[in-house]
Amino acid sequence: MTRVLIVGSGPNGATYARTVLDEVPGATVLMVEAGPVIDRPLGMNVRNIPDADAQAAARLASQGRTGAAGIAGLPLGAVVEGTVTARQGTHLIGRAAEGSPGLPAAALATCVGGQGAHWTCATPRPSGGERIGFLPDLDARLDEAEALLHVTKSAFGDAPQATAILERLSEEFAPDRIGVRSLPVAADELPDGSLRWGGTDVVLGPVVDDPRFTLRSFTLCVRLLREGPRVVGAVLRNLATGAEESVTADAVVVAADAIRTPQLLWASGIRPAALGRYLTEHPLIFGVVAVRAGVLPPVTGPAVDPVRAVVSVGYDEDHHPFHAQVMYTPVCPVPLPADSPHRNSAGGYVGMGWGVRKWPRAEDRVILDDTQPDEDGLPSIRIAYELTDREQAEIERAQKIQARAAAALGSFVDGMPRVLPAGSSLHYMGTVRMGPVDDGTSVCDPNSRVWGVDGLVLAGNGLIPTANTCNPTLTSVALSLRGAHALTAELRR
């Protein structure tokens, strides 16, 4: 029997579980996850939970663990130190390194399904400089990732508001050759017109019923075990009892997000020069627009989902090196002051987010320190990170384009738009980046194997090496599919 250990139960860990069990009949998979089971099917997007209280409870349960008793977490939407908002379902990890306050913390989820139980399901493809140029089969893997995640390009496609937004913005931007299109999302359309949002459950699919698959929740991987240049297993801690156990495996996949994957490698003495470096997180300019009456058709029919239309102003290297999302909702998605002229906007509201490039630099990094362990005894996490003049200039350029989009539809509500605090995108990348050659600027090879270490494969957004502006999950799942096919070929041999 071939044994594969997977650390982390988000969409990328799930991609490996699914592929290994599909392609290697003689394999077993043990998946370990530090967080609890929060819903069923395992890893389902909590937005599919019909009861609001049950949905809130599932989010809270993902917000980290305090004390021996188990789960606590931050109050919903808590703002810590007036900086990063931990969005519901996430909690903050790490803090800014001294003298480098650019990214005060990262917001991550700890639960079965990972952030894939909470995500918004936007799945645009990388374009231009966002693409990983040294992967010849990137498009084929993106196709495969779209199928695995149940990506649809027609969600809300026949919503009249989507068509109207698309037409308005296309008209506005056509002279600049900026393309506007529907935004692909990971969702299944239900017969009543509503959507079942994609989550990690969709990626796992039949795996959960496969007797060769075992999931251990509330289990923290504290160290990888090595024999010479090979990783041969890991030390696992049951977080309910504190008991530790060593397990062996023919291959170990670490899919523990872009912050905790480097932490685990560091704790295991695996410390390539690029580990934790080249951290990127695209700045996000967000605004809510109160739509002018008559610009969009009124909403009819049952209120099946507050988001009624999603449109993307796509990345274009020359004309629009940004990724933008425009989402229509009949009700305002942010609280407004009682005297706001934008309350109860007859035309509804549009939320618009513009993602801006952050160029990878070695000095933007996760700093791991064994001398000051965290509450689990793993190296503590500090983040050194700064935006440069290059990014500031891009932010200004994006703001001008966003202002035009807003004016075409209505006007920004009070206090908008804003550049969200660093860390808010939830898209942390680059910390275990992939590269074409082992020249010290990457951690993994093009098949996601750590350079010079046998038996160890990494997965997640941390592998993305480019200045990426679009939502990263489709891309990281495509990289996981590539790595998983290479791994299964090796295991079959």
> Interface with ligand FAD by CB under 6 A: which range of 104-112, 173-181, 386-394, 416-424?
104-112
- Residue 114 contacts ligand FAD per CB under 6 A: yes
Give dist(CA 444, CA 436) in Å, integer: 9
Among 260, 308, 433, 482, binds ligand FAD (CB under 6 A): 260
Say which DSSP state 444 is in. B
- Residue 39 contacts ligand FAD per CB under 6 A: no
Among 152, 161, 461, 468, binds ligand FAD (CB under 6 A): 461
> Interface with ligand FAD by CB under 6 A: which range of 2-10, 271-279, 312-320, 403-411?
2-10
Give dist(CA 120, CA 155) in Å, integer: 13
Q: How many CA atoms lie within 13 A of 304 on its CB side?
A: 16
Give the alpha-carbon dihedral of 179, 473, 133, 4, to 10 degrees: -160
- Residue 402 contacts ligand FAD per CB under 6 A: no
Amino acid at 411: S
Q: C-alpha angle with apex 146: 142 to 148, nearest 5 degrees?
A: 115
Looking at the Cβ atoms of 2 and 425, the one nearer to ligand FAD is 425
Counting every residue written for the chain, the total comes to: 493
Residue 336 · residue 198 · CB < 8 Å: no
> Interface with ligand FAD by CB under 6 A: which range of 29-37, 311-319, 391-399, 407-415?
29-37
- For residues 199 to 238, the per-residue mask of contacts with ligand FAD, x marking binding by CB under 6 A and - elsewhere, is ---------------------xx-----------------
118 is an active site residue = no
- Residue 425 contacts ligand FAD per CB under 6 A: no
Instruction: Name the phi and psi angles at 247, rounded to 5.
Output: -120, 150
Among 279, 426, 464, 467, binds ligand FAD (CB under 6 A): 426
- Residue 118 contacts ligand FAD per CB under 6 A: yes
Count of beta carbons in the 10 Å neighbourhood of residue 97:
18
Give dist(CA 71, CA 57) in Å, integer: 11
Looking at the Cβ atoms of 360 and 423, the one nearer to ligand FAD is 423
Among 87, 223, 282, 358, binds ligand FAD (CB under 6 A): 87
Total site size for ligand FAD, rule CB under 6 A:
40
Instruction: Name the phi and psi angles at 235, rounded to 5.
Output: -100, 125
Give dist(CA 369, CA 445) in Å, integer: 26
Q: Which residues are 65's β-sheet partners?
A: 71
Among 38, 121, 444, 479, binds ligand FAD (CB under 6 A): 121
DSSP letters of 186-202? EEEE-TTS-EEE--HHH
- Residue 148 contacts ligand FAD per CB under 6 A: no
The Cα-based distances of 169 to 176, 329, 430 in angstroms read: 11, 17, 32
Shortest distance, position 86 Cβ to ligand FAD, whole Å? 9
- Residue 55 contacts ligand FAD per CB under 6 A: no
Contacts with ligand FAD, residue ranges (CB under 6 A):
7-13, 32-35, 87, 89-90, 108-111, 114-116, 118-122, 220-221, 255-257, 260, 264, 426, 460-461, 471-473, 476
Instruction: Catalogue the active-site residues.
Output: 427
